[in-house]
């Protein structure tokens, strides 16, 4: 069997779902523009630069989940999927995932963005396995804290290994393991698979892919 792993933001999506969720809530008037928007942009720029403190960021990003009722969050997310996410999904991205699924590969989306935001997106791609940062919940409401290891950088490797163990599998057992990503932040996992693929890569990953002769593709358009 083959394993196919997909990063989500700026890989399968032509944009960042975590950043856009925050902006969607600002535009909808749920979050205060003056206090949230600039900080959201600053954290996104830190991610791009590779300097993001993931725990500090998650304290910021998960707070809106804790401050609002689940039924409101679900309603807003439906609008978010229609207005922000659907335009980010290209035919090429859908076709890539579909090829792996139709081939019978074990497929999973592996993303640093929390599972509340990303699970409906994974369903939209037809991928049943999602490895994401998990927001803690008690009594049916989010707490604003993280449950377990954030799925970021080396944390993606750890979370993947935990998930594979739950499937009674290990990475070396697969005849081929692919990981598609746009970001240099994903180098720890890209280095582990047998087929790393840089997708519309950032400058740092493009240089690394060139040096290591990794495959480079585009899913835009």
The predicted-structure confidence for 192-204, as pLDDT tens digits, reads as follows: 999 999 999 999 9
Instruction: Express as a percent the part of the chain with pLDDT over 90.
Output: 95
Q: Which two tokens stand for residue 59?
A: 């304290």
First-residue to last-residue Cα distance in the chain: 30
Q: pLDDT tens digits for 86-122? A: 999 999 999 999 999 999 999 999 999 999 999 999 9
Query: Please, how many CA atoms are within 13 Å of residue 99, restricted to the half-sphere of its CB?
Result: 9
Across the range 80-85, mean pLDDT stands at 98
Q: Interior CA angle at 171 toward 1 and 93, to 5°?
A: 65
- At 8, is the secondary structure helix, strand, or coil? helix
What is the maximum span of the chain, computed from C-alpha positions, in angstroms? 51
pLDDT above 80 (res 221): no
Q: pLDDT tens digits for 17-68? A: 999 999 999 999 999 998 898 999 899 999 989 899 999 999 999 999 999 9
pLDDT above 80 (res 85): yes
Q: Quote the CA–CA distance of 166 and 178 in Å, as a whole number.
A: 19
Q: What is the pTM of this model?
A: 0.96
- Catalogue the active-site residues: 7, 9
Q: Which two tokens stand for residue 22?
A: 């925050």
The residues, any chain, with a CB within 8 Å of residue 3's CB and separated by 6 or more, are 105, 106, 107, 108, 171, 174, 176, 177, 178, 193
- The superfamily (CATH) of domain 2-217 is HAD superfamily/HAD-like (3.40.50.1000)
Q: Which two tokens stand for residue 99?
A: 């090829």
Q: Which two tokens stand for residue 118?
A: 């990303």
CB 182 within 8 A of CB 200: yes
Across the range 150-174, mean pLDDT stands at 97
Q: Quote the CA–CA distance of 38 and 103 in Å, as a whole number.
A: 44
| Domain locations in the chain as residue ranges | 2-217
Residue in the block written with tokens 């927001």: 135
Q: What is the mean pLDDT of the chain?
A: 96
CB 121 within 8 A of CB 87: no
Q: Which residues pair with 181 in a beta bridge?
A: 198
């Amino acid at each position: 069997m083959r394993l196919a792993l997909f990063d989500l933001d700026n890989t399968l999506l032509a944009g960042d779902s975590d950043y856009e969720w925050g902006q969607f809530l600002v535009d909808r008037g749920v979050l205060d523009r003056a206090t949230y928007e600039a900080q959201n942009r600053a954290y996104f720029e830190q991610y791009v630069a590779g300097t993001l403190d993931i725990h500090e960021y998650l304290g910021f990003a998960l707070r809106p989940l804790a401050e609002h009722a689940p039924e409101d969050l679900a309603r807003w997310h439906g609008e978010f999927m229609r207005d922000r996410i659907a335009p980010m999904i290209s035919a090429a991205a859908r076709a890539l995932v579909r090829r792996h699924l139709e081939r019978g590969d074990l497929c999973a989306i592996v993303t640093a963005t929390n599972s509340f935001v990303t699970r409906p997106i994974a369903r939209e791609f037809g991928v049943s396995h999602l490895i994401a940062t998990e927001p803690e919940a008690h009594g049916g409401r989010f707490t604003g804290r993280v449950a377990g290891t954030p799925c970021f950088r080396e944390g993606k490797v750890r979370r993947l290994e935990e998930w594979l163990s739950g499937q009674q599998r290990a990475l070396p057992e697969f005849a081929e393991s692919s990981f598609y990503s746009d970001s240099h932040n994903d180098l720890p996992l890209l280095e582990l698979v047998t087929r790393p693929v840089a997708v519309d890569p950032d400058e740092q990953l493009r240089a690394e892919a060139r040096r290591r002769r990794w495959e480079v593709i585009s899913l835009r358009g």
